[in-house]
Amino acid sequence: MKKHLLYSSFLLLMGCSAVAQNKDAIKFSQTINKDNAYKHLSVLASDEYEGRETGKKGGWMAADYIKEHFKSIGLKAPVAGDYFQPVDIVSYGLSQLLTVDGQPAEALTDFFLMPKSVSAKGFAFNANSVLFAGYGLTKDDYNDYANQAVAGKVVMIFKSGEPGSPAPTASLRNSSAVNAKLKYLVEHKAQAVILIDPIVDNMPENMKSYLLSEDMALKNKETMDRMDVPQAMPVITIGTALANRILAGANTNLDALKKKISDGGKPSPQEIKISVCASASKVEKKVKSDNVLGFLEGSDPKLKHEILVITGHYDHIGITPDAKGDDKINNGADDDGSGTTGVLLIAEAFAKAKKAGKGPKRSILFMTVTGEEKGLLGSEWYSENPVFPLKNTITNLNIDMIGRGDKAHESDNNFVYIIGSDMLSSDLDRIGKKANKTYVNINLDEKYNNRTDPNQFYYRSDHYNFAKHGIPVIFYFNGVHDDYHMPGDEVSKIDFPMLAKRAKLVYFTAWELANGLKRPTVDKNEDGTPKL
């Protein structure tokens, strides 16, 4: 008798589940599969695409590939008849010059400047002397600046260490101690500071790469205002060879001065009569890079003005010349070739539904964005220059890394992190979880679904540029692995069945959103408090 009741209950539950599922949604989801995922990702994450760096050949190739796919499946070109939305990105390199006693010093061999420390206005100074002030310490019982006037002078100090202590290795450098030294000099109106750091003598290749890298930003008012903030004080870091060239003006050298300070137990500041001239300025260059947009118009005349936006970033970090081993290309198969692939698969499924007369009631904008790795630049540009009014955008579903997993899920990869789904809209959270339960049944891990997560994932992908405008979002993410931002993020390591399954979750969620009776209600403020 109990068995019969249980069996009847099971049939009833199965019947309810079948009713809840939309047969058309299931039918057109079939092209979202591991084979089609491989077809796209094996191209986008190939060595030929050189890591898809923003503003470089591989990035342009990826944009063209995505455009051709959107075109081939019949999506409309919504940017004045084009699929590309140009993003106004500029890069800033550094023009720098340093001469000592009329002789030019060589950047990255004799000295360096931190690129982000130089404002748009740059700096220039021409000094006839340098004040050597030892370790730049200002303790109660030891003051390198005792009886010294600092204002208006170029001051040279050891970047780190104390009298009698050995030179620290790079791993032991105390940035807070350095900042305290710089703060003192700024407050006492030094003209500039020269930091002596032995790391310049044998600079690691990765450090050189960083110092040579160009900072990218949107050319908008916010960026211009930030860059126009004048520099508090020029900071130049030099090696020991150049320091000794300066000290030769006083017939001394570093070893002699260190010994004198250590043996005497007291500071030994001195004015060195030697000319030091320096200048630096930002060099701006236009970066060619585009968001790629494909538009599927809704079928309901009353609802098609409402837009669901599905995003993934197609850029990655390009080539790392100093990477260990022979492989220098950061293919970005998971980050975010997998998300881009997901967008392409979902777009094709909806396009086929529309051609069969089963298209969504609301419109869907499929958008792969550029410049995410440079600071969410492409999505920020779209949010400031939307092709469709943001007030008509009902939700953003953002896919960033869905092809692998993390160590927390090594025993079961049937999961995806969802972030942001309940931050602004209880409706969206309910719809997304219902779609999962009805169609896919993936473990939805909400470990990072909060604003105080130390990793700050809620703020680190393109959905945030929609959320900050009050648009509900869901961010789909498989977590960070050992190959994150490394050449090892290869196609061979992708779990294609799970990539397809996660993409299907986004697809079914999109189906529910695009065909629902009403758009998700925004019932929470950006800080999570209920809207009144």
Rounded to whole angstroms, how far apart are CA atoms 368 and 63?
8
Identify whether the C-beta of residue 294 lies closer than 8 Å to the C-beta of residue 307: no
3-class state of residue 371 by DSSP: coil
Q: Using the CB atoms, write b or e for 97-118: b if 16+ within 10 Å.
A: ebebeeeebebeebbbbebeeb
Contacts of 209 (CB under 8 A, 6+ apart): 320, 321, 322
Rounded to whole angstroms, how far apart are CA atoms 67 and 84?
8
Q: What is the mean pLDDT of residues 145-158?
A: 95
Tens-place pLDDT, residues 332-346: 999 999 999 999 999
Binning pLDDT at 50, 70 and 90, where does residue 11 land? very low
Q: What is the mean pLDDT of residues 89-111?
A: 96
pLDDT for 175 = 76
- Domain boundary at 234, 250, 285, which? 285
Q: What does residue 96 show for φ and ψ, rounded to 5 degrees?
A: -140, 145
Residue 490 lies in a domain: yes
Give the angle subtended at the CA of 294 by the CAs of 47 and 219, to the nearest 5°.
Answer: 75
H helix or E strand, kind and range, residue 272: strand 270-272
Q: Are 142 and 206 within one domain? A: yes
Residue 224 lies in a domain: yes
**CA 479 and chain centroid, separation:** 15
Rounded to whole angstroms, how far apart are CA atoms 510 and 312?
14
Residue 454 Cα distances to 27, 415, 465, angstroms? 41, 21, 20
**CA 493 and chain centroid, separation:** 22
Residue 210 lies in a domain: yes
- State the residue range of the domain holding 336: 34-87+289-515
- Residue 6, pLDDT > 80, answer no
- Domain boundary at 250, 285, 320, which? 285
- Does 336 sit behind a cis peptide bond, omega within 30 degrees of 0 on the bond before it? yes
Q: How many independent structural domains does the chain possess?
A: 2
Q: Are 464 and 511 within one domain? A: yes
Please name the amino acid found at residue 104.
Answer: P
Q: Are 258 and 164 within one domain? A: yes
H helix or E strand, kind and range, residue 291: strand 290-296
Rounded to whole angstroms, how far apart are CA atoms 190 and 182?
10
Q: Are 95 and 78 within one domain? A: no
Tens-place pLDDT, residues 44-68: 999 999 999 999 999 999 999 999 9
Rounded to whole angstroms, how far apart are CA atoms 127 and 275?
6
Residue 375 lies in a domain: yes
Per-residue tokens: 281: 């300025």
H helix or E strand, kind and range, residue 207: helix 205-212
Rounded to whole angstroms, how far apart are CA atoms 183 and 232?
10
Binning pLDDT at 50, 70 and 90, where does residue 507 land? very high
Tens-place pLDDT, residues 247-262: 999 999 999 999 999 8
- Residue 34, pLDDT > 80, answer yes
pLDDT for 126 = 97
pTM of the model as a whole? 0.87
Rounded to whole angstroms, how far apart are CA atoms 398 and 490?
22
Residue 340 lies in a domain: yes
The number of residues making up the chain comes to 532
**Which is higher by pLDDT, 196 or 223?**
196
Nearest to 442 by CA among 522, 370, 503, 352: 503
- Residue 515, pLDDT > 60, answer yes
- Averaged confidence pLDDT in the chain: 93
- Per DSSP, helices labelled H in 195-330 are 205-212, 221-227, 240-247, 254-264
Q: Are 106 and 204 within one domain? A: yes
Residue 521 lies in a domain: no
Q: What is the mean pLDDT of residues 102-124?
A: 93
Rounded to whole angstroms, how far apart are CA atoms 397 and 100?
56
Residue 17 lies in a domain: no
Rounded to whole angstroms, how far apart are CA atoms 444 and 449?
11
Residue 1 lies in a domain: no
Tens-place pLDDT, residues 121-147: 899 999 999 999 999 999 888 999 988
Binning pLDDT at 50, 70 and 90, where does residue 230 land? low
Q: Would you put residue 147 in left (φ > 0), alpha (ψ -120 to 50) or beta? A: left
Q: Are 313 and 231 within one domain? A: no
Rounded to whole angstroms, how far apart are CA atoms 248 and 100?
11
Q: What is the mean pLDDT of residues 369-391?
A: 98
pLDDT for 172 = 41
Q: What is the mean pLDDT of residues 473-490?
A: 98
Q: Are 386 and 491 within one domain? A: yes
Rounded to whole angstroms, how far apart are CA atoms 158 and 269?
12
Q: Are 71 and 120 within one domain? A: no
- Residue 16, pLDDT > 70, answer no
Rounded to whole angstroms, how far apart are CA atoms 241 and 246?
9
Would strands 192-196 and 270-272 be described as parallel, antiparallel, or unpaired?
A: unpaired
Strand partners, 142: 139
Q: Are 232 and 338 within one domain? A: no
Q: Are 117 and 219 within one domain? A: yes
Q: Sheet containing 363-369: which strands, arranged edge to edge?
A: 84-86, 290-296, 363-369, 307-313, 393-399, 473-477, 415-419, 443-445
Q: Are 462 and 488 within one domain? A: yes
- DSSP state, residue 215: E
Rounded to whole angstroms, how far apart are CA atoms 161 and 137?
10
Q: Are 307 and 394 within one domain? A: yes
- Domain boundary at 243, 270, 285, which? 285
Look up the CATH number of the domain holding residue 502.
3.40.630.10
pLDDT for 166 = 61
Please name the amino acid found at residue 501.
Answer: K
pLDDT for 1 = 40
Look up the CATH number of the domain holding residue 110.
3.50.30.30
